[in-house]
Structure 1
């Protein structure tokens, strides 16, 4: 019984190890932004904010922050950047944009 369980678990590990890596995709990012962000935002604005989010997440993680704390820093960075761009995204929209960036751009 134990030998069979080990064999099954080893097989699952091999199957998981051979799964293809996810790749970032601009179209998928825009699609996710369009689905989740309620405010009108151009593709150019979305990409600028998405890259702000990715930079903040990357900087936070590289400086030793947990992913959750790095995401919070990205939310703040996107909030500042969108105001500098003259947008008025609601907080949930900014957070959804950060989420889409994390999923599709970073």
Structure 2
């Protein structure tokens, strides 16, 4: 019986931790600040936010379809690369990857 109570306590604690972490993460301003610090290419806030959402959608879709997080992240890098070209931007591959990283940290 004590093992069951301990397991229930652990599961409840994990649920609270996950719920709390999900509430405090997404922030456009922190994302834009991280983009300004890491991305060398000139990019407007509007374009950065659009690309950030492309990245988050690709990561979420990849994970939901069963990909590992690393594979989903690679798909996000690719999606941002295509999307920035469609927007007429000329970001380097590292800048695109830095933008995806900022989206992962601040938006997703």
Q: Which has the larger radius of gyration?
A: 1
Structure 2 alignment gaps of length 5 or more: 1-12
Name the TM-score, length of structure 1 as normaliser.
0.81
Q: 1:104 aligns with which of 98, 103, 106?
A: 106
Q: How far 1:37 sits from its partner (Å)? A: 0.1
More helix by share: 2
Name the TM-score, length of structure 2 as normaliser.
0.80
Q: 2:89 aligns with which of 87, 90, 105?
A: 87
State the secondary structure of the residue aligned to 1:60.
helix
Deviations 1:31-51 (A, max 9, x none): 000000000000000000000
Which residue of structure 2 lines up, in the alignment, with residue 58 of structure 1? Answer: 60
Q: 1:75 aligns with which of 62, 73, 77?
A: 77
1-structure distance, mates of 2:25, 2:87: 28
Deviation above 6 Å: which 4+ runs of structure 1?
none
Deviations 1:23-82 (A, max 9, x none): 211110000000000000000000000000000000000000000000000000000000
RMSD (CA atoms): 2.0
Which residue of structure 2 lines up, in the alignment, with residue 31 of structure 1? Answer: 33
